[in-house]
Amino acid sequence: MDFNVKTGDPDKLRSACVVVGVSAPRRLSPAAERLDKASRGQLRELLKQGDIDTECGKTTLIHNPKGHIETARILLVGCGKDKKLSPKAFAEISSAAAKALQSSGATEALSYLTELVVKDRDLAWKAQRTVEASRDAVYRFDELKSEAKPPKHPLRKLGIVVSDRDAVNEAKEGIRRGIAVANGVDLARVLGNRPGNLCTPSDLADQAMALKKAYPAALNVQILEEEDMAKLGMGALLSVSRGSRQPAKLIVLQYNGSATNKNPVVLVGKGVTFDSGGISIKPGAAMDEMKFDMCGAASVFGTVSAVAELALPVNLVGIVPATENLPDGDASKPGDIVTSMSGQTIEVLNTDAEGRLILCDALTYADKFDPDVVVDIATLTGACVIALGHHATGLLSNDQALADELLAAGRTSGDRAWQLPLWDEYDEQLVSNFADMANIGGRSAGTITAACFLARFSKNYHWAHLDIAGVAWKSGKDKGATGRPVPLLMQFLTERARDKG
């Protein structure tokens, strides 16, 4: 889908559809006002008749408007009653507009929605959100359908109209960022949506090589094999892959965008390409959704790729421990004790708490990059879905400044996180009678004890953990990967590139 920036009046520019806002009770946006005049009052007339819903996110399509209007359709989008929109309302409005356009018959359109006033947000932000919302609306995963049924009139081109020449560059910058984030989100969604038989650890390694091919100058990729991991002493990671016929891979992506020798941001993504639970096998219901257990890894790929596309001036390392978790005669068993790369021993009381076992070795490995900060991203605990539902990523950190940065990036991008405490009291739940620690901490506070486990391997640097179990994919009729938290991570890195150079 293409995006461009335009200036001009809504009645004069030629297009298949013009998109404008209307608020309650009967307030027309400036562009809607002009269209009303040009159509000799058609919009006000319809409003008066009650034919236009002004509720936030409700859309009304008008065909062949009256008067001297160059466009074939007008899409009116309800903006609610507030004069200044909340960022969330703007995102809702853009998304509703994109969905309505997708089923309108118009394959190209002009949007005047960036003229809406949004609290604490500038034009670049509005342009970026418009792009992200539109790309989200047109996303489809049909690579595995033998007969893909594409929409009859897909939205191919969206013009974002701004008030004057001075605003053009700002909108263009927003579009550039929006496209990169949307590409990153799409990559994360595609990888997440692929089934476990087609997205194995080796497939993820191939994906990394493909990224290297796309950005040969900026990216370096290294794939560590099981024997390399054995040499490094990664007994925890390797214990998870024992039950699988697919070899585990430790994928390392390095992006150097900062001229200086600045310490990198390291992203570590959980890449369990299928989580059956292992010997502590999961119940059958919805087990297919455990193909999404590599969405942390997918978000690292998406973010690295978007950062490379934008040529952001940051140094970034992505580390992806990739493995399956399956039962087998040779699989780890409850009670087995393994030695991690850090030297700490772990009693595996539940083989379904495998994410932390692969992450702990990856976190120890991260130390070798002398990181500025480390952020891990993982579909780690069902408990996080119970605590925060499907709206917020769980955030836990050993450094409040880093936590605050990530929380702020979540608010700005609309891809929000919520912090949970990482207190010593919780850490005590990890006691083991036989090893340095157990891999589970009992029924209560499951998200926190999982993070406490990871914290034991992240003492040497500023670290944050993002539990994306509730946000990485949707269940039910819209089942599919969301690409979260790529928008949050991109906002975080964009701001770091700006502030810290």
Which active-site residues does the annotation give? 282, 356
CA distance 51 to 15: 23
Task: Return the number of the residue (275 or 415) whose C-beta is nearest Mn ion.
Answer: 275
Smallest distance from ligand BES to CB 263, Å: 30
Between 5 and 357, CB nearer to Zn ion: 357
Residue 193 or 379 having the CB closest to ligand BES: 379
Residue 241 Cβ, how far from Zn ion at the closest point, in Å?
13
Torsion, Cα 296 298 302 303, to 10 degrees, reads 20
For residues 77 and 93, the answer to whether their CB atoms sit within 8 Å is yes
Q: b vs e for 182-213, b when ≥16 Cβ sit within 10 Å of the residue's Cβ?
A: bbbbbbbbbbbbbebeebbbebbbebbeebbe
CB 484 within 8 A of CB 394: no
Among residues 263 and 418, whose Cβ is nearest to ligand BES? 418
State the binding partner of 406 from Mn ion, ligand BES, Zn ion, none, CB within 5 to 8 A by kind. none
CA 127 and chain centroid, separation: 18
Find the angle CA(481)-CA(484)-CA(487) to the nearest 5 degrees.
140
If one asks whether residue 469 binds ligand BES (CB under 6 A), the answer comes out as yes
**Cα 359 from chain centroid (whole Å):** 19
- Give yes or no for residue 381 binding ligand BES (CB under 6 A): yes
Phi, then psi, of 264 in degrees rounded to 5: -80, 160
Which of ligand BES, Zn ion, Mn ion, none is residue 440 near (CB under 5 to 8 Å by kind)?
ligand BES
Asked if 357 interacts with ligand BES (CB under 6 A), we say no
* Nearer CB in complex with ligand BES: 127/240: 240
Which residue's CB is nearer to ligand BES, number 98 or number 359?
359
User: Residues 282-321 vs ligand BES: string with x where CB under 6 A?
Assistant: -----------x----------------------------
Give residues 325-354 in contact with ligand BES (rule: CB under 6 A). 350, 352-354
What distance in Å separates the CA atoms of residue 432 and residue 199, rounded to the nearest whole number?
35
Query: Can you give 384-448 as a three-state secondary structure string?
Result: HHHHHCCCCEEEEECCHHHHHHHHHHHHHHCCCEEECCCCHHHHHHHCCCCCCEECCCCCCCHHH
Distance in Å, CB of 380 to Zn ion, minimum: 7
- Work out the number of other CB atoms within 10 angstroms of the CB of residue 37: 16
Query: Tokens 């944050």 sit at which residue?
Result: 464
Nearest approach in angstroms of CB 415 to ligand BES is: 18
**Shortest distance in whole angstroms from residue 446 CB to Mn ion:** 11
Q: Applying CB under 6 A, does 382 fall inside the site for ligand BES?
A: yes
Q: Cα–Cα distance between 481 and 184 in angstroms, integer?
A: 13
| Residue 471 interacting entry, from Zn ion, ligand BES, Mn ion, none, C-beta within 5 to 8 Å by type | none
Ramachandran angles phi, psi of 428, nearest 5° = -60, -20
Q: Residues binding Zn ion: what is the number (CB under 5 A)?
A: 4
Footprint (CB under 6 A) of ligand BES, residues 411-450: 440, 446
Which residues within the stretch 260-279 sit at the binding site for Zn ion (CB under 5 A)? 272, 275
CA separation for the pair 109, 15 (Å, rounded): 6
Q: What is each CA distance from 38 to 21, 159, 351, 429, in whole angstroms?
A: 16, 21, 68, 70
**Which of 379, 393, 412, 482 touches ligand BES (CB under 6 A)?**
379
Chain residues in the site for Mn ion (CB under 5 A) = 275, 352, 354
446 binds, among ligand BES, Mn ion, Zn ion, none (CB under 5 to 8 A by kind): ligand BES
- Give me the residues that bind ligand BES (CB under 6 A), please: 275, 293, 350, 352-355, 379-383, 385, 440, 446, 469
- What is the contact surface with Zn ion in residues (CB under 5 A)? 272, 275, 293, 355
